[in-house]
Amino acid sequence: MSSILILVFSIAVFSIIAEKIRRNAFKNLSVFRKIDKRSVYQGEEISATMYFENFSKIFIPFVHVEEKVPFELERVGKIDGEKIGDAKYYSNVFNIGAMERLKFNYKFSSKKRGVYYLRTIKVSVGDIFGFSEDVMELEDFVEILVYPKLRKLSEIAFNNNSLIGDIIVKRWIFQDPLYIKGIREYTTDHRMKDIHWNSSMRTGKLMVKEYDFTSDRQITFLFNTQTTNPFWNVYNGHKLEEGIDMMATIGVEVINSGIATGVWTNGQIVSYSGKHGNEMTGSSTSVKRFLEYCSRIDINTKFAFHEYLYNMKEKFDINTVYILITSYMDNEIAAIINALRSKGILIKLIDISEKGDVNIPGIERLHLSGEGR
């Protein structure tokens, strides 16, 4: 009988101690997360570490941690989380000793451009018998940017005249933000419209204008996310993604050539801070800033494109070359573009539609092919 009483008493004592440990565990437990980078290219790995620090002199027998991760961020390795809605939940169970610090290393990556958030960490602490547990959600906010997929310019395929990306950048885009610095003999790399006829007649052979950069010219991409009417419907979102990849590839080349480059878009901009609007000016563009902005463009449309252009019409600058990237065109958009052209605004068009039927008479136009992508 006495042994039974001792057993019952011992269990009661241990239960009281366990309950006290459980209730006070969070007072002495620190949980936080660190990652090695917050902006990556598609497929690039991010190294993360989850830290647990027990500042108490008593060990914690049961800790269950659950991390919510956007579905597009994939854990590297064999670990597979539970998919619920648009996220995956990754769990780990362990105990932590008195005055001990534990850390768990893991990696994840994403194959999809965008902005992703790591938010809360759910931590459960239980008693030694597993009868009860306390749960706390810790706010640990992290923003991760996944850049568009950059390609070699030669890999960008256009259906027009068999031109490829590097030639387009050098001849179709760069030529207009330049000034004529002289005359040289014609080669097959030159455009017919660059022939200087007076010099050709005088010398008896074809001569062309030779260009150089001006310091005040800029390039601004006009990226239209509207794909149909009404504008809030999304159709062929993959073509918009291809368009963003192309814009990023060309934009990086232009920036590295020393030309200030901006982006205007009617798409929604993903920004937790709200500091990023629908325009990124080219006055102080860096490649990193440009790629970050391209990452934040959502394929969902915020404004009908003709409304956006109308609201921006006074901000167009005659010293800027505007490259319109779109898969959709209507009469209202075309009318505003033509009105801008009549004021001397230089606009070029890249059609990213499936059929290649986006066209405005009088506007230089290219159609992005799906080949090579």
What confidence score (pLDDT) does residue 272 get? 82
Which of 226, 179, 249, 188 shows the shortest CA–CA distance to 326?
A: 226
Residues 363 and 250: their CA atoms lie apart, in Å, by 19
Q: Does 112 share its domain with 170?
A: no
What confidence score (pLDDT) does residue 101 get? 94
Do the Cβ atoms of 2 and 39 come closer than 8 Å? no
Which of 338, 180, 173, 310 shows the shortest CA–CA distance to 246?
A: 173
The last residue of one of the domains, among 169, 191, 212, is 212
Asked if residue 114 belongs to a domain, the reply is yes
Asked if residue 280 belongs to a domain, the reply is yes
Q: Does 198 share its domain with 340?
A: no
Q: Are strands 207-213 and 218-223 parallel, antiparallel or unpaired?
A: unpaired
Asked if residue 8 belongs to a domain, the reply is no
Write out the chain's pLDDT in tens, 373 residues.
Answer: 566 666 555 555 555 555 666 666 678 888 999 999 999 999 999 999 999 999 988 888 888 899 999 989 988 876 677 777 778 899 889 989 889 999 999 999 999 999 999 988 999 887 666 566 788 888 888 999 999 999 888 787 777 655 555 666 666 666 655 555 567 777 766 667 677 777 778 788 887 776 655 556 789 999 999 998 888 777 778 899 999 999 999 999 889 888 889 999 999 999 888 788 899 987 667 899 999 999 999 999 999 999 999 999 999 998 888 999 999 999 999 999 999 998 889 899 999 998 888 989 888 888 887 644 3
Q: Does 222 share its domain with 165?
A: yes
What confidence score (pLDDT) does residue 9 get? 53
Residue corresponding to tokens 């310091």: 215
Asked if residue 13 belongs to a domain, the reply is no
Asked if residue 230 belongs to a domain, the reply is yes
The last residue of one of the domains, among 146, 166, 199, is 146
Q: Are strands 74-75 and 207-213 parallel, antiparallel or unpaired?
A: unpaired
Residue type, 319: N
Q: Does 297 share its domain with 221?
A: yes
What confidence score (pLDDT) does residue 282 get? 74
What confidence score (pLDDT) does residue 132 get? 65
Asked if residue 239 belongs to a domain, the reply is yes
Which whole-number Å values give the CA distances from 5 to 8, 9, 10, 12, in the listed order? 5, 6, 8, 10
Asked if residue 15 belongs to a domain, the reply is no
The last residue of one of the domains, among 164, 197, 212, is 212
Sign of CA dihedral 107, 270, 288, 219: positive
Please tell me the total count of domains within the chain: 3
Q: Does 172 share its domain with 305?
A: yes
Range of the domain at 312: 153-177+214-367
Q: Does 226 share its domain with 340?
A: yes
* CATH number, domain containing residue 172: 3.40.50
Q: Does 58 share its domain with 119?
A: yes
DSSP 153: G
Q: Does 360 share its domain with 235?
A: yes
What confidence score (pLDDT) does residue 159 get? 72
Do the Cβ atoms of 205 and 185 come closer than 8 Å? yes
Q: Does 262 share its domain with 363?
A: yes
Q: Does 163 share its domain with 130?
A: no
Q: Does 103 share its domain with 121?
A: yes
Rg (CA), the chain: 30
Instruction: Give pTM, 2 decimals.
Output: 0.80
Q: Does 75 share its domain with 164?
A: no
Asked if residue 50 belongs to a domain, the reply is yes
Residues 145 and 70: their CA atoms lie apart, in Å, by 12
